[in-house]
Structure 1
Amino acid sequence: MFYGKRYLELMEQVIKGGGEKAILRHTQRNKKLLVRERLQLLLDKEETLELSPFAGFGMPYGDIPAAGCLTGIGKINGVWCVFIANDATIKGGTAYPITVKKQLRAQNIAIQNRLPCIYLVDSGGAFLPLQADIFPDKNHGGRMFYNEAVMSAVGIPQVAVVCGSCTAGGAYIPTMVEETVMVDSIGTIFLAGPPLVKAATGEDVSPEELGGATLHAKVSGCIDHFAATEEEAYECARNIIATLNFDLPPHKTTNFEEPLYTAEELNGLAPKDYAHTLSIKLVLSRLTDGSRFLEFKALYGTTLVTGFAQIKGHLVGIVANNGELTHNAALKGSHFVQLCDQRGIPIIFLQNTRPNVTMAGTLSKAEDVTNQLKAQGSMMAAVACATVPKITIIIGGCYGGESFPMCGRSFDPNFLFLWPNAKVGLVGPNYCSEIQEPDGQNQDEAQLKIMKERLENESSAFHSSSRVWDDGVILPKDTRMVIGQCLNIIKQKPRLHSQPERRAVLRM
């Protein structure tokens, strides 16, 4: 499968980090552990959910593997935690615009799911040539510090381990968390390093004298725990998480049935395009426990499939495209989403929407389109206002307006993943043939070809994931496992219904 091959190629590049030379410099000259070795010491020996591993590829300023940092969710002493860990083998841990975006997404996941957050800081600060895209705006670098303050205020614990350089704006990360651990000899915290001090004052000062662990432990008080080695630092961080006094949910369910059909078959069932006529129930039968599915309104609005099932022992509602989101299908979706919200049941959206199409024609057709838009608007409102957790998997097309009621990224799902074959765009490449110049003339063939190729390239799953429009590309065969992990993670947060008054479910 071509898309699977591309997935494996990119994953190999991610694991290599900054390359052999950078790894040797990091481990031999600087005497530091690699970021994945650090996470092995920090996290429990269980599966972790890595987020956006393909972020940073194909950016205008070059390839930044994994955006220069690893983010994800793993257990520390039994508690699900978000981790944000700089990889200093990639551009010295320097923060690029895509690095900031990936870190902010990880923080937002921590906020939305009320997960403790731990930062492994090893960064030289922002990449100055791109400062205009990193520093001044609302969702640029300073937002990390704003988020740290807000998270602390609402009771989301944060811990930092300073295991390398912590320079310039990055120096605020460890000084704003509740507890900070710092590694002797390799960890430093300062706004400006020795070269800038020398240039500004003429003073010669070593990194340790300016901002080492001893200084911050004994003099400034910026850190709370002094660690002689990295191994000691991660053990200390684990012990801090053990003191959070979290009221953990019961252990994850293990007595569930596997699907009757193998997950490997999902690779062959992945839709090639939005118009693929494959029944979504073939996909569902390879995701749900015992391949069971209690369908809701089975004979109404059949281009959308809704119903209840269990995945890895968790009760879920499923909303899945089986074609165009028609008027009746959208009304059914609105009804079902409200039902799940009233019952406190998480919703899984399986999205395979279609590109926008031209709707010119008779008055009756225009009226039909208007009614369809109103119904889709009702479903958008139901999805936006539902307080239950939402997980979206884009298994095929994610196009235009129909992606919104199916809980696209702008509708704030707790997690959103794509299959490698997924397409994400406002319109499909075939839309180019309908584009006209202002004078009404069609564009020439060369222009149309260029536009079509651009739409094709920019709608790929890997283009989307490189820009953190999602939480990562997953292989179809891993979908059940990933959904199960997300449901276990979500379960750690007690559900608080945001509506002070309960409302009746409206039969749309």
Structure 2
Amino acid sequence: MTKFRTRVHPGGDEFRTNRADMLTLVDELRGLESRARVASERSADRFAARKQLLPRERLARLLDPGAPYLELQNLIGYAMADDGLNDADRATSVPGGSLLAGIGFISGVRCVVVVSDSGINAGALSAASLNKIMRSQRIAMQNRLPFVHLVESAGANIPAYRVEGWVLGGEMFANLARLSAAGLPVITVLHGSSTAGGAYMPGLSDVVIGVQGRGKAFLAGPPLLKAATGEIATDEDLGGAQMHADVSGLVEYLAEDDNDAVRLVREAVARTAWGVGQLRDIPAGFADPAYDPDELAGVVPVDYRRPYDVREVVARIADGSDFADFKGRYGSATVCLEGEVHGRPVAFIGNNGPIDNEGATKAAHFIQHCSQVGTPITYLQNTTGFMVGTSYERGGMIKHGSKMIQAVSNATVPQFTFMLGASYGAGNYGMCGRGYGPRFLFGWPSARIGLMGPEQAGMTMRIVAEAAAKRRGVEVPDDVLAANEREVVSLLDRQADAFYVSGRGVDDGVIDPRQTRHVLGFVLATAAEAAQITPRPVSFGVARM
């Protein structure tokens, strides 16, 4: 391989402008993330009075000190009201889905962890919450990881109830059964209430820890019980942790308080001996990039229409900034590279322009080659789509683009996607968008996602409207056409925003570009461990006895 020589000048005006623009977006990202923390911490006095830990304190004490942790879907639920097109909603929306989720280490074991953020709306579950839990479950299944859930939730958010959400939410419980049946440990802590359907969270877990005096699980809480049957019962008698430990058998371990519950989880995870005797040593001795990953904030312009060389991005991610350029002279707008990150082989596919016939053919070849030799693939998206025009159509753009999509769809190696800039049209598909099942997908704050560029969409709809009016023999005033065009541009532009898209759960979170190497190294290691682990599946999951 060849060590890359940068052409970026960190002291130049262009770099400084790019960096200032990107860091403005990163600051906006941090501001959105802080809304959930601030909202949760407003309940600190109430938690202290109950002698409870705040949800973030539970998570911090659960995880191994100093070990890496990857947060998932940090912005889910953002700007969901009124389709997120209302400025007032964007200004006040609290992202996160009343949940904390991520991949971290517990007693040395890599686990998926979900924590109810019960400081916000008592941890009530919304559509965003369900999506976040189910995505976390799928990640646990695909990467063969134990699933740990710290529960304290008021159940479904009735004011936000939608019948389709309730119906589809059943998958959350089915996934718990599937994880257990696949031999992946499911461990749940009852820090507080787990009501109605939520009672099946502990019911479908392999190990349940209940906090005495606080943890509760019941199919019908006291209000619903009285409404349904007229029976009056206290929540402790009906579903308290001690009752479940002494009488029903739902709880295996009774904890004195939140701290004790966290200790019991750590011990339970350690006893699984997950990966012992199977996992190989982590690669060591790899080189840092020759160029500082911090420079990623200035390498890529916030405006996707301004060109840059995606190799400059890889040079700040790959070990030693050393990589091979596959077919570098053919289909040059589509860049295919082979290198290493944190000592693990990885391929990169990036965009230096739209995907043309040669680029699509090259990418299809490269993806098949990586599948043959077992090299994971990372997609660095900045594409307005596949090329259009008479020459490209006559040259077979459809069939060549289809070859690329075929290869992406059927690749047999882990695929990871980072949306850096534009992710428009079928380019999103060819570059392994969410619909193509990448193992993980993250966005930069500069990402722009949609059917097509907003300006192109507005112009397209104007041309269509003019043609339709002409067929009807009607003349539409220019100001009306212009107003309609502006409306289409505004609609697509506001929905293209990376934060808006992430709020809908179609990625695994928005990250600071400067953390791309760290995040990629973490998910590469996660996938590598998954390939080494051999679970012990059982027929129907561990049934509660």
TM-score (norm 2): 0.86
Partner residue, 1:400? 425
Identity of aligned residues (%): 37
Could you tell me which residue of structure 1 aligns to residue 543 of structure 2? none
What secondary structure does 2:416 align onto? strand
Which residue of structure 2 lines up, in the alignment, with residue 320 of structure 1?
350
**Corresponding position of 2:31:** 9
Post-superposition CA distance 1:244-292 (Å, at most 9, x none): 2323523433311111111121111223344322111111111111111
Bigger mean CA offset, 462-471 vs 443-452 = 443-452
- Selected match of 1:377 from 402, 415, 418: 402
Quick one: structure 1 residues 57 and 456, their matched pair in 2 at CA, closer, same or farther if it must change by over 3 Å?
Answer: same
Helix, strand or coil for the counterpart of 2:530?
A: coil
CA contact (8 A) 2:357 2:392 kept: no
> Tell me, what secondary structure is at the counterpart of 1:83?
strand
The 3-state SS of whatever aligns with 1:395 is strand
Q: Could you tell me how far apart the structure 2 residues matched to 1:204 and 1:99 are?
A: 31
2:284 pairs with 1:254: yes
Looking at structure 2, the residues matched to 149 and 196 of structure 1 have their Cα atoms a distance apart, in angstroms, of 27
On the 8 A contact 2:68/2:104 being kept in 1, the answer is yes
For the 8 Å contact 2:355–2:385, the answer to whether it is kept is no
- Is it true that 1:347 corresponds to 2:384 in the alignment? no
CA distance in 2, matches of 1:133, 1:471: 25
Match of 1:477 in 2: 514
Cα shift readout 1:308-345 (whole Å, capped 9, x = no counterpart): 10111111111111111111111111111111111111
Structure 1 distance, partners of 2:531, 2:442, is 24
Q: Which moved more, 1:486-495 or 1:373-382?
A: 486-495
Q: Is the 8 A contact 2:356 2:392 kept in 1?
A: no
Q: Name the SS of the counterpart of 2:71 in structure 1.
A: strand
User: Distance in 1 between the 2:95 and 2:118 partners?
Assistant: 11
1:187 match: 215
What are the equivalent positions in structure 2 for 1:398-477 lying under 5 Å apart? 398-431=423-456, 432-435=458-461, 436-437=464-465, 438-439=468-469, 444-477=481-514
Residue aligned with 1:121, SS: strand
124-133 or 231-240, which moves further after superposition? 124-133
- Of Structure 1 and Structure 2, the greater helix share is in 2
Question: Is 2:266 the counterpart of 1:238?
Answer: yes
Question: After superposition, where does 1:330-341 map in structure 2 within 5 Å?
Answer: 330-341=360-371
3-state secondary structure, aligned to 1:404: helix
For 1:439 and 1:155, the matched residues in 2 are separated by 62
Aligned partner letter, 1:262: D
d(CA) in 1 for partners of 2:393, 2:341: 41
Q: Which of 23, 44, 47 is 2:44 aligned to?
A: 23
Runs of 5+ consecutive residues of structure 2 not aligned to the other structure: 1-20, 83-88, 471-475, 534-545
Q: Does 1:297 align with 2:319?
A: no
Q: Which residue of 1 aligns with 2:18?
A: none
- Whether the 8 Å contact between 1:274 and 1:355 is mirrored in structure 2 is no
- 1:354·1:402 contact (CA, 8 Å) conserved in 2? yes
2:147 to 94, 112, 117: 117
239-248 vs 141-150, which moves further = 239-248
Distance in structure 1 (CA, Å) of the matches to 2:481 and 2:304: 27
Select which of 59, 72, 75 maps to 1:54: 75
User: How far off its partner does 1:136 sit?
Assistant: 4.4
Distance 1:82 1:416 in 2: 16
Deviations 1:81-106 (A, max 9, x none): 10111101111100111111111111
Which residue of structure 1 aligns with residue 393 of structure 2? 366
Give 1:456 shift.
1.1
1:466-489 deviations in Å (ceiling 9; x for gaps)? 111101111111110111111121
Q: Is the 8 A contact 1:356 1:426 kept in 2?
A: no
Distance 1:445 1:18, change over 3 A: farther
Structure 2 match to 1:39? 59
Structure 1 residue 381, shift from structure 2 partner = 1.1
Q: Which amino acid aligns with 2:179?
A: M
Cα shift at 1:75: 0.8
Which whole-Å CA distance do the structure 2 matches of 1:307 and 1:206 have between them?
A: 64
Across the aligned residues of Structure 1 and Structure 2, the Cα RMSD in angstroms comes to 1.9
Distance 2:425 2:180 in 1: 37
Q: Which residue of the partner structure matches residue 170 of structure 2?
A: 142
Alignment of structure 1 residues 91-240 onto 2, 5 Å: 91-133=121-163, 135-137=165-167, 140-240=168-268
Mean Cα deviation higher: 276-285 or 237-246: 237-246
